[in-house]
Amino acid sequence: MFCQNPINVIQSHQLDQILIHDTIFQKFSGDVIIEYSDFKIQCDTILIDEYQEIIRGWGNTSIFNDTIKCQTDSINIKQFENKITFYTNSILETDNMLIYSDHMIYNYEQKKLAYLSGGSVKTQDYVINSQQFTYQIENEISEFKDQIKLTTNKYKITTNHMIHENDIINFVGKNCIEYEEFTINSEKGIFKKDDFLKLYQQESINGKNETIISNQLFIDISSEKKYFTNNVHVILDEKTHLFGDTLIQQDQGSKINNNCEIQLLGTQDSIYITGDIIQIDGKKEELEVINNVFIMGKDLEGSCNNMLFKSNYENILMNKDPVIWIRDIQITGKRIELYTQNNNLDSIYIPINPFIVSPNDSLEYYNQMTGNILSGKFKNNKVEYINLAGNAQMIYFDNQKNKNLTINMNHTKAGSIKLIFDNNNINNIFCLNRIESNYDEINLSNRPKKMQKKIFLDDFTLIKRRSF
């Protein structure tokens, strides 16, 4: 039989001639084998029209050449369009891919394969389901559209547009990636199996329901290392937020670099903490802020070179030259411990070398208090009281100058000193146990050098506050 491409009937048990819609068809039945172009086709039944334009085959159908191999229920070849349509239960193999669909079209002149109403592609590395699929065999480019779901042994990616070329998968539009304990939503991404996953405008949610937002996320699959970059925002819960330029995660450790900030949003007030580096130890459930650490609140400021958070951010330990200011009152110590409840300040504790400096009306004179241990309580995010226990000392100046230009200074030693606050200002002072008090009168116009040491307690230091 002669036509555009020769059709050679190799085998058939029966030949009939039938009429369908005024067109005469040759019907070959029973273990039919034909050769068409470079294809070999095997099936139960084949129809060939009198013009040799259409070849239809069905029943245990297989068709193959050097490029494709397909098992299907039925096929339809339109010779002048150079197209083969594969119908129900089609499984086509090409380039180490298995393609499943109930309706596939193959243009053998252009070497282009497609399905338009649902199917899946399986490789050694992936299974990809989609509504639409095209594959250019010569350049090995696959394109998927609508309701795409890619599955590997580690990943599940759902999206609406995906292109696979040279082992690289690009996907654009709203997408969702399930990876380990993460669910990631992003605008677009690039994926190479066993190598990397790169996402843009992403939002990740982990198994603890913590959210990480960033402009970019790069996952090194071989090392399982994650790099979040540009406008990183970590939401630990609705009241606890972390910010920075970059976040690096591996195993159970995290590190935030550049423009680091912690926001503890409370019902009464909020605390903002900045530093050079934030490190999170997931095993110990601890967070550390390193170098140039500053703490800010409505009436609270502070600084140190190391800050450690424990117990789900309820314990804040300020180390390495810590200082806090409550309005104009300066508090220092070897280590300052702040405790919160629901991100509101609850209490303060300084176990070693606590020292309080409160300015007097005159810039030259400072009220000072110290002891072995400091403990204090906050109420509605304002200081309620502070207690200095053990070898407590206080230097306190009268607020009023005498007529003869002198000011009274009271140097008191006691077992403990308790400061009562009102609206973050010292309102009352109580000295308890083994009280020893000495008064001095200081001439404001001509203060002798010998008085210089008397007006300061040992370890007095005035720390310059940061300008915001």
Amino acid type, 142: S
Q: For the chain, what is the radius of gyration of the CA atoms?
A: 40
- Residue 1 pLDDT > 50: no
Q: Which of 358-362, 401-405, 416-420 has the highest mean pLDDT?
A: 416-420
Confidence of residue 211 (pLDDT cuts 50, 70, 90): very high
> What element of type H or E holds 450?
helix 450-454
Task: Give dist(CA 430, CA 406) in Å, integer.
Answer: 25
pLDDT of residue 68: 95
Instruction: Write down the H helix ranges in 160-283.
Output: none
Q: How far is CA 405 from the centre of its chain?
A: 64
Exposure class string for 82-108: b at 16+ Cβ within 10 A, else e: bbbbbbeebbbebeebebbbeebbbeb
Rounded Cα gap, residues 144 and 135, in angstroms: 9
Tokens 């389901």 locate to 129
**pLDDT number for residue 342:** 84
Question: Using alpha carbons only, what angle is made at residue 365 by residues 359 and 366, rounded to the nearest 5 degrees?
Answer: 40
Nearest CA to 115 out of 78, 151, 143 is that of 143
Q: CA–CA separation, 119 vs 202, rounded Å?
A: 28
**Is residue 190 within 8 Å of residue 169, measured between CB atoms?**
yes
Overall average pLDDT of the 208-217 stretch: 94
CA–CA dist 380, 387 (Å, integer): 18
pLDDT band for 363, please (50, 70, 90 cuts).
low
Nearest to 150 by CA among 135, 180, 136, 170: 170
In the chain, the percentage of residues whose pLDDT exceeds 70 is 95
Phi, psi for residue 79 in degrees, rounded to 5: -65, -40
Gap between the terminal Cα atoms of the chain: 91
Residue 5's pLDDT band, with cuts at 50, 70 and 90, is low
Say whether pLDDT at 76 is over 50: yes
Mean pLDDT is highest, among 46-50, 220-224, 231-235, for 231-235
Question: At residue 236, what are phi and psi to the nearest 5 degrees?
Answer: -75, -40
Considering only residues 285 and 99, tell me which one the structure prediction assigns the higher pLDDT: 99
Distance CA 241, CA 153 (A): 33
The CA distances from residue 325 to 305, 322, 357, 365, in Å, are: 16, 10, 9, 17
Distance from C-alpha of 223 to C-alpha of 338, rounded to nearest angstrom: 38
**Residue in 275, 264, 320 with CA at minimum distance from that of residue 466:** 275
Read off the pTM: 0.84
Rounded distance, CA 61 to CA 89, Å? 10
Angle at 150 between CA 148 and CA 153, to 5 degrees: 165
Query: In the structure encoding, which two tokens stand for residue 319, read together?
Result: 């180390």
pLDDT at 196: 92
Cβ atoms within 10 A of the Cβ of 370, count?
A: 23
- Write out the H or E segment, with its range, that includes residue 186: strand 182-192
pLDDT at 2: 43
Share of the chain above pLDDT 90, in %: 63
User: What is the arithmetic mean of pLDDT over 82-111?
Assistant: 95
Mean pLDDT of the chain: 90
Q: How many CA atoms lie within 13 A of 323 on its CB side?
A: 18
- What are 82-93's pLDDT values in tens digits? 999 999 999 999
Q: How far apart are CA 53 and CA 38, in angstroms?
A: 17
Q: What three-state secondary structure class fits 216?
A: strand
Task: Check pLDDT > 70 for residue 282.
Answer: yes
Kindly report the backbone phi and psi dihedral angles of residue 331, in degrees, each rounded to the nearest multiple of 5, phi listed first. -125, 125
For residue 364, is pLDDT > 90? Answer: no
Assign 380 a pLDDT band (cuts: 50, 70, 90): confident
Distance CA 222, CA 396 (A): 65
List pLDDT tens digits, range 15-66: 999 888 888 889 999 999 999 989 999 999 999 988 888 899 999 999 999 9
Mean pLDDT, residues 161-170? 93
Q: Where do the DSSP E strands lie in 284-424? A: 286-296, 300-310, 315-319, 323-326, 329-332, 336-341, 344-350, 355-359, 366-370, 373-379, 382-397, 406-422
Beta strands in 195-311 (DSSP E): 196-205, 211-220, 225-237, 240-250, 253-265, 270-281, 286-296, 300-310
Residue 143 identity: E
